Amino acid sequence: MSSFDRFYINGDWVPAGSAHERLPVLNPTTEEAIAEVALASKDDIDRAVDAAQRALPSWSSTEPKKRAQYLHAIADAIEQNVDGIAAVLTEDVGVPTKFAQDVQVGWTIQYFRDAANALSDIEFESAYGDSAIVRREPVGVVAAITPWNFPLMQSAAKVAPALAAGCTVVLKPSEVAPLSLFSLAEIASEVGLPAGVLNIATGYGPEIGEHLVCHPGVNAVSFTGSTRAGTRIAALAAADVKRVTLELGGKSAGVVLPGADIEQAARATLLDCYLNSGQKCVAQTRLLVPRSQLEAAESTTKAVAQKLTVGDPADPSVDVGPVVSAAQLARVRDHIIRAEESGAQLIVGGADSPANLGRGYFVRPTVFSSVTTDMPLAQEEVFGPVLAILPYDTVDEAIEIANDSEYGLGGGVWAKTRDEGIAIARKIRTGQVAINGAIPTPDLPFGGFKKSGYGREGGAYAVNEFLEIKTIY
């Protein structure tokens, strides 16, 4: 079992003190400890913020072209070790290896490249007529707090644009799945990123995360996680009027319009819902279908779900791995049980463990039908491989159902034509909508409406989140 008893602070590996609490990191497939990590104290966070503050003047004045070179160098180094980092994610998070390689690591690489490339499109200083100059300057020290479901990718989505903007960063990854971030720290050191520009320390959110958010040396906070935790962070940061970017929960709807290919739409929405074992905030977990096509949607999703292989994510034949922890397993099973109790019709799956798996945090791919908007399954984020099918009678009703959520992160529209799909997408109150299964790219703006948060990640949009505007006249 590996032991990670150091934090990456000021360009060096700083040992944790003997009094630091150690936390085992469990492999969700085997339920066995694969590593032990030290949990930072408030003093460690203070040291990390101090290092970031001291590095800020030099890094912020570094030419954008030079900052871009560092970001490309980090991307190059990750690209040279895709398989190794993906293997860590498979053990740490339970994500199938192919998905870890293509998305969790692939998008990490792209976030660094896109942030670097965005610098050539951002005008950091420009004349405003003959009487003024408008400048874009880094906001300062950024606290980046990231989740366990996409630990490396979500960290890259914050770290890369913040560094591109000229900010320095203190990153606190989730203590549940932190191992891939040690790889990022090693790469930052290898490429010669100046000391203090990126600092990484693991620790509990309620204690260390809040201390970091409230630290007077932090100028901005970027957080991805639950809406409950996000509202707490926003309230704490408001006391010092800090810039905050939040990417929170979701309950996205895939709307199938009359005349669309119901089998293709149902299959694609189900598979989107099950990606990363359903642990994806933007997953389309509600499938909205014309009532006349409800039976077709049920039969298609049942057939597809029954063919999926659940098991060891390191096995290339496996489609769905485990959820990340025992706590998450209990949470998902509770949602399934409550859905049955509320009157939803179980089409496939259920709360029982898969018959062929004696250990691991596995959930049977599950589909419920005849779900109504007043049921908890239609409103609450499950974060597991559970799809809800909701029938509708008119397109206006479908739009109303899609928008009947406190969240507004993602969604999809399936239509006979692109123009018809776009017309309906414009009426759905979410940060992004896919037409006929279109796949987004990391450079597009990503973020939410309503309780899904505010601010945007991706490409130049993300870099601008970390820039202040100054007028000289």
User: First and final CA of the chain: distance in angstroms?
Assistant: 60
What the block records as the tokens of 226 is 């639950």
pLDDT band at 20 (very low <50, low <70, confident <90, very high): confident
Does 18 have pLDDT greater than 90?
no
Main-chain dihedrals φ then ψ at residue 231, nearest 5 degrees: -65, -35
Of the CA atoms within 13 Å of residue 274, those in its CB half-sphere come to 27
Q: Which are the catalytic amino acids?
A: 247, 281
Which residue in this structure is represented by tokens 């049921």?
A: 375
Instruction: From residue 364, give the alpha-carbon distance in Å to each of 311, 337, 379, 395, 415.
Output: 10, 13, 21, 32, 30
Q: What pLDDT score was predicted for residue 218?
A: 98
Domains of the chain, CATH where assigned: 2-248+452-472 (3.40.605.10), 252-441 (3.40.309.10)
Q: What pLDDT score was predicted for residue 2?
A: 75
pLDDT digits (tens, 9 = 90+) for 50-59: 999 999 999 9
Q: How many CB atoms lie within 10 A of CB 303?
A: 14
Does 1 have pLDDT greater than 70?
no
Does 213 have pLDDT greater than 80?
yes
Q: What pLDDT score was predicted for residue 16?
A: 83
pLDDT digits (tens, 9 = 90+) for 220-264: 999 999 999 999 999 999 999 999 999 999 999 999 999 999 999
Does 19 have pLDDT greater than 70?
no
pLDDT band at 21 (very low <50, low <70, confident <90, very high): confident
C-alpha to C-alpha distance for 324 and 154, rounded to whole angstroms: 16
User: Do the Cβ atoms of 86 and 309 come closer than 8 Å?
Assistant: no
Interstrand relation of 453-454 and 243-247 (parallel, antiparallel or unpaired): antiparallel
Q: What pLDDT score was predicted for residue 316?
A: 95
Q: What is the pTM of this model?
A: 0.96
Q: Which of 291, 316, 310 shows the shortest CA–CA distance to 348? A: 310
User: Do the Cβ atoms of 289 and 395 come closer than 8 Å?
Assistant: no
C-alpha to C-alpha distance for 276 and 435, rounded to whole angstroms: 21
